[in-house]
């Protein structure tokens, strides 16, 4: 199983490194979006946000989450449409091996992406956080990015073509923005839709990030919350392995 | 006793309101080339997907090399090679990288050697390091075939492998198929091209999800009605006669000795005509 997983990972790395345009876009687009966000923030009256630094980090987490999710969704649906996914199954690659292979394959990209974004945010917004807190924020954002890949794999089961992906972008992203606690606290949401927030990975990431930034403490102080995020991620990973459709 | 390479009993599959396969029974003996012939939408690809375990039948039993599908798909897939209708390759990887990737899960000993062997077999040695996106359609098909062959499968399942390839390459493909069958590989090939079933040992004709005929290509051809053209005076009269010898003898005896009959020609039906006649007769 490990060898098969590594074979999928190696293939993805080979493809990523061979496709420089894709690599450049995947890395530069979030940076451009964050730059635009910086301009937007600086244009607004500061009083609109109680803690602009916190918002910068939360929005960064959201952008990484969004790009990883969409990237993985598109790649898996393309594999399904071009029948390479079916061919992988017929050549005896298992579902867990494919999902783990993808996760490891995109882990490298997610790491570079998160490092670049964190550096950019630190530079543009002149964050006052220490190295310890910055590393803790990076760890949470990186974990969220991995979870986004699992979500992308799960949602890919619902789309047969790249065109069918588009409804799943707002369907996932808008509840994430409005129900995860990013802009409105989860406790302020109407009870009837509060359950949606518990489905959103960003909710669990924000439960670590927000207090960490507010208290200026490192991840060590929030290990139980981080543990919940990890458990949620593992559950999603298991679900995406079980649901990856090989049969019509 | 050795089991058949493929054994299908009562296979039924629906997609919503569309009946893709209906109560199909089929046996493919080991070592033979079996052709599934049918027009587009006849159910060929559905049949093939149930054989490789990527489609679950609604009813019926499918056994591949003695393994129940899709329950024992993992065990069966170690022994089958599958070439889908589309190339199903990674366009941004080379020929060698594609074949190596699909071969890895089969845990092949001396993988590099085996990959080189199949690359040579399909005649892509000069293109081994070229990206798939830079190859012609025919070369992609050859690479796809190599991916299906790399683990020396006992059963090769091919979904329209020569659709859209030029006649020279098609001939080359069939040379490969016969060489493989000669070496003991069972080949099941789905096609809508009328010349290909004649190259098979056995042929099944699918029409709207039903297997309407199953026989050797020679026997299927013999079922067709030949066209007899009689030149009587200046007029040409065409008569279609059934495949049995008595029918021709009867026609010749009724016309043959008459002095106004100036010529008689008999043209046996080709497979396309037989195919159309059988479809008409099946009334599906």
pLDDT tens-digit profile of A123-154? 888 888 888 999 999 999 999 999 999 898 88
Q: What is the pLDDT of residue A46?
A: 61
Assess contact for B194 and B270: CB atoms under 8 A.
Answer: yes
Handedness of CA B175, B180, B186, B189 (dihedral sign): negative
- B98-119 pLDDT, tens per residue? 999 999 999 898 999 999 999 9
d(Cα A226, Cα A207) in Å, to the nearest integer? 8
Pick from A68-82, B43-57, B182-196, B259-273: least confident: B259-273
Does residue A247 surpass a pLDDT of 60? no
| Share above pLDDT 90 across residues of chain B, in percent, rounded to a whole number | 55
| Three-state DSSP class for residue B71 | coil
Residues of chain A that touch chain B, judged by Cβ-Cβ distance less than 8 Å: 3-4, 7, 11, 14-15, 18-19, 82-84, 86-94, 97, 246-248
A53/chain B closest Cα distance in angstroms: 41
Complex ipTM above 0.85? no
More confident residue, A157 or B139: B139
Please tell me which residue of chain A has the smallest CA distance to B14. Answer: A248
In tens, the pLDDT along A24-46 reads: 988 898 889 888 888 887 787 66
pLDDT computed for residue B268 by the predictor = 76
**pLDDT confidence of B229, banded at 50, 70, 90?**
confident
pLDDT at B142: 92
Give the pLDDT band (50/70/90) at residue B254: confident
What pTM was estimated for this model as a whole? Answer: 0.84
A contacts of B156 (beta carbons < 8 Å): none
- B59 forms beta bridges with B12
Window from A119-123, B182-186, B222-226 with minimum mean pLDDT: B222-226
pLDDT in tens, B114-170: 999 999 989 899 999 999 999 998 899 999 999 999 999 999 999 988 877 788 888
User: Beta-strand (E) ranges in B115-256?
Assistant: 155-159, 186-191, 202-207, 210-215, 226-232, 235-241
- Give the single-character DSSP code of B94: B
**Residue B284: band (very low, low, confident or very high) from pLDDT cuts 50, 70, 90:** low
Residue A69 scores a pLDDT above 70 = yes
User: In this model, does residue A121 exceed pLDDT 70?
Assistant: yes
Residue whose token pair is 């991995």: A146
Distance CA B124, CA B122 (A): 6
The span from the CA of B75 to the CA of B106, in Å, is: 11
Res. B46: pLDDT tops 80: yes
* From A156-170, A182-196, B19-33, B261-275, the region with the lowest mean pLDDT: B261-275
In the predicted model, what is the mean pLDDT of chain B?
Answer: 88
Mean pLDDT, range A71-81, rounded to an integer: 89
Q: What is the pLDDT of residue B247?
A: 75
- Across the interface, whether the CB atoms of A86 and B88 are under 8 A apart is answered yes
Over residues A44-55, the pLDDT tens digits come to: 766 556 677 778
Reduce the DSSP state of residue A125 to 3 states and report it. Answer: helix
Task: Kindly tell me if the per-residue pLDDT of A159 is higher than 90.
Answer: no
Sign of CA dihedral B189, B191, B195, B198: positive
Residue of B105, B132, B145 to mutate for A, most A C-beta atoms under 10 A: B105
User: Which residue in the set A91, A97, A247 is minimally distant from B106, CB to CB?
Assistant: A91
Mean per-residue pLDDT for A174-198?
89
Mean pLDDT to the nearest integer, B235-249? 76
Share of chain A above pLDDT 70, in %: 96
């Amino acid at each position: 199983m490990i060898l098969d997983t590594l074979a999928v990972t190696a293939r993805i790395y080979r493809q990523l490194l061979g496709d420089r345009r894709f690599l450049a876009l995947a890395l530069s687009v979030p940076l451009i979006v964050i730059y635009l966000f910086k301009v937007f923030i600086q244009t607004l009256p500061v009083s609109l946000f109680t803690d602009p630094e916190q918002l910068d980090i939360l929005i960064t987490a959201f952008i990484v989450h969004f790009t990883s999710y969409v990237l993985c969704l598109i790649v898996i649906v393309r594999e399904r449409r071009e029948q390479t996914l079916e061919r992988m199954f017929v050549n005896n690659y298992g579902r867990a091996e494919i999902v783990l292979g993808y996760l490891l394959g995109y882990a490298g990209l997610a790491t570079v992406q998160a490092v670049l974004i964190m550096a950019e945010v630190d530079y543009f917004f002149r964050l006052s956080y220490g190295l310890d807190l910055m590393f803790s924020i990076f760890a949470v954002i990186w974990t969220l990015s991995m979870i986004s890949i699992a979500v992308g794999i799960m949602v890919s089961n619902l789309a047969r073509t790249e065109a069918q992906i588009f409804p799943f972008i707002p369907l996932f992203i808008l509840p994430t923005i409005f129900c995860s606690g990013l802009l409105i606290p989860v406790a302020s949401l109407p009870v009837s839709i509060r359950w949606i927030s518990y489905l959103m990975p960003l909710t669990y990431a924000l439960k670590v990030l927000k207090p960490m930034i507010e208290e200026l403490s490192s991840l060590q102080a929030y290990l139980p919350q981080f543990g919940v995020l990890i458990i949620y991620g593992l559950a999603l990973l298991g679900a995406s392995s079980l649901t990856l459709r090989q049969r019509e | 006793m050795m089991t058949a390479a493929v054994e299908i009993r009562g296979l039924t599959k629906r997609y919503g309101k569309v009946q893709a396969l209906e109560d199909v029974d089929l046996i493919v003996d080991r070592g033979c080339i079996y052709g599934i012939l049918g027009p587009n939408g006849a159910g060929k690809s559905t049949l093939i997907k149930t054989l490789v375990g990527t489609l679950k039948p609604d009813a019926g039993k499918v056994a591949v090399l003695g393994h129940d599908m899709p329950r024992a798909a993992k065990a069966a897939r170690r022994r089958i090679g599958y070439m889908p209708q589309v190339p199903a390759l990674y366009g941004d990887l080379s020929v060698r990288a594609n074949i190596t990737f699909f071969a890895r899960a089969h845990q092949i000993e001396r993988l590099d050697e085996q990959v080189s062997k199949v690359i040579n077999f399909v005649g892509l040695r000069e293109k081994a390091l070229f990206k798939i996106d830079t190859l012609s359609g025919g070369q992609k098909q050859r690479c796809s075939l190599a991916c299906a062959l790399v683990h020396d499968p006992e059963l090769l399942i091919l979904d329209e492998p020569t659709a859209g390839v030029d006649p020279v390459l098609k001939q080359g493909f069939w040379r490969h198929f016969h060489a493989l069958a000669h070496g003991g590989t069972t080949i099941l090939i789905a096609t809508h091209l009328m010349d290909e079933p004649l190259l098979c040992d056995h042929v099944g004709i699918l029409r709207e999800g039903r297997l309407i005929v199953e026989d050797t290509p020679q026997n299927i051809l013999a079922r067709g009605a030949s066209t007899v053209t009689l030149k009587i005076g200046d007029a040409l009269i065409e008569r279609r006669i059934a495949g049995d010898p008595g029918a021709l003898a009867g026609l010749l005896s009724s016309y043959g000795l008459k002095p106004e009959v100036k010529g008689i020609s008999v043209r046996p039906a080709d497979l396309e005509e037989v195919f159309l006649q059988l479809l008409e007769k099946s009334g599906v």
